[in-house]
Amino acid sequence: MDGLTALFASLDALLREAVEEDDFQAWFESNPAVFEILGFKRSIIKPRLMLGDGKYLEPDFLVQDHVGVWSVFELKRPDTIILKNPDRRTDFRAEFSTYIQQCREYANFFVQSTGRRQIQNDYSIDVQMYVPSIIVACVDDGETDRDTLRELLVDRGNKVTVQTYTEILDSIGREIDRHTADRANLPGIAVSLLGMFPAKPSVTDQVILDYGIDEFRNRLTIRLADGTFVIVLVDSEGKAHRSEIRRPMVVEFANANELTLLEVEFGVGAEGSYLGLFVNRRCLLAKFTERIHVNPGTLSESVLGSDMHGRTPAHFAIIELVTYARTLSWRERLQLHAHFQEVYAYYLSPLAIHSPITLLFSGNKFMATPAHPLTPGGTSASKPKVNPGGLTSWYVVSGGVTPSDGSPAPVDPRLGAQTTPVPGQLIEQ
């Protein structure tokens, strides 16, 4: 997972948990990039505004925008209720009124030349006389009347603005969109595989997935060779394009079963092609090249656990495999990650004492899509189901998928309930 997406996911996860205000303080301190996204060029953590006799005020942050204006940046809990009357909503709740008064005290401090001089001496910054405040509180759940809130803030002197955590998430999301718009929803392929890849497999060079039915054209092969992920793309003219990414030594999933989430996507755009690889939500490859001429429709058939002929051995295990006929947006990828985390929470825990039910590909054991020539009754002329933008295949081992040797896996009793859908759905025809 790249930095911006990790930023979004971590704040989103924090908002879903029952955490304290200090947890959000720690998050903002650990992720100063969020201030840049919000339009600030500098931030100071918990500056002390000395009042004399050892007393002081301590806002959460002082932030400076690109014009040079400094503001107080105050964090409150996301479950803060702002307005008093749920029906008329004509005033602030008492608790929120204390936050407004707190911001007035900050403003009064900076009006005094002695206060500004102290900040200049202690932090080497020049703060203007009139310092506004930004209070970050609540989420956009429809319970807060924004027009009434704005009127009340104007009545209080219009020196305080309220920003919700939802708005901050949206700002991060827009920044991600700006950087990734050219790689989302391209015709091609996106595959997410949750499995186990032993550090020292008995087979050192193995094909994990092989897409396509023509050995010499329109083919995408994903291999694991001596600890290196190898992606070979053969275009419509027979030219091979090879990318190698060393498997990371340290991965983000701290789980007892050493599960690995491997994600690969390839898309063809009007002006070029995109190839991406993620391991345990970390982006290891995001490569844009000149347009590689591949017919995306030819990648709909695949073999899992061997090459397209079913001849090469392998040694790894899968738990779930999801495939699309296009690249995914970053929001869809996060949706998939949430699905995996929810369903396999037990096995992703470092405290898990049981191993997950897997489908082991050991030796010459493979699984092919229904219309692939390796499937009994399958043929390259078979017409696959059409599902524009949705899933093209979805294998869940605990659901009893059957590999080439005819041995289905049992149902796993430790899986969590699935309330987060994966992007898209199969269309029955």
- Exposed, middle or buried by CB within 10 Å (0-12, 13-18, 19+), for 263? buried
Predicted confidence (pLDDT) at residue 250 exceeds the cutoff of 60: no
Which pLDDT value is given to residue 158?
A: 62
Phi/psi of residue 306, each to 5°?
Answer: -170, 180
With H, G, I as helix, E, B as strand and everything else as coil, classify residue 335.
helix
Mean of all residue pLDDT scores within the chain: 84
Is the pLDDT higher at 406 or at 214? 214
* Distance between CA atoms of residues 64 and 39, nearest Å: 9
Mean pLDDT of 20-38: 93
Tell me the CB-side half-sphere exposure of residue 167, using CA atoms within 13 A. 12
Check: CB of residue 253 under 8 Å from CB of residue 279: no
* Distance between CA atoms of residues 269 and 274, nearest Å: 8
- Across 60-64, 144-148, 352-356, least confident range: 144-148
76-122: per-residue pLDDT in tens?
998 887 777 655 557 777 888 888 889 999 999 999 999 999 999 99
Number of residues that make up the chain? 429
Predicted confidence (pLDDT) at residue 346 exceeds the cutoff of 50: yes
With H, G, I as helix, E, B as strand and everything else as coil, classify residue 109.
helix
- Across 40-49, 151-160, 174-183, 266-275, least confident range: 151-160
Angle at 402 (CA atoms; ends 401, 404), nearest 5 degrees: 145
| pTM > 0.85: yes or no | no
Question: In this structure, what token pair is assigned to residue 120?
Answer: 């200049």
Mean pLDDT of 198-210: 83
Ordered by where they begin, the domains of the chain are: 3-175 (3.40.1350), 184-399 (2.60.120.200)
Is the pLDDT higher at 60 or at 341? 60
Predicted confidence (pLDDT) at residue 380 exceeds the cutoff of 70: no
* Distance between CA atoms of residues 5 and 102, nearest Å: 34
Name the nearest CA neighbour of 219 among 295, 304, 141, 122.
295
Please report, to the nearest 10 degrees, the dihedral formed by the alpha carbons of residues 247, 248, 251, 252 taken in order.
-100
Name the nearest CA neighbour of 326 among 271, 266, 384, 371.
266
* Distance between CA atoms of residues 381 and 359, nearest Å: 29
Highest mean pLDDT: which of 112-121, 179-188, 285-294? Answer: 112-121
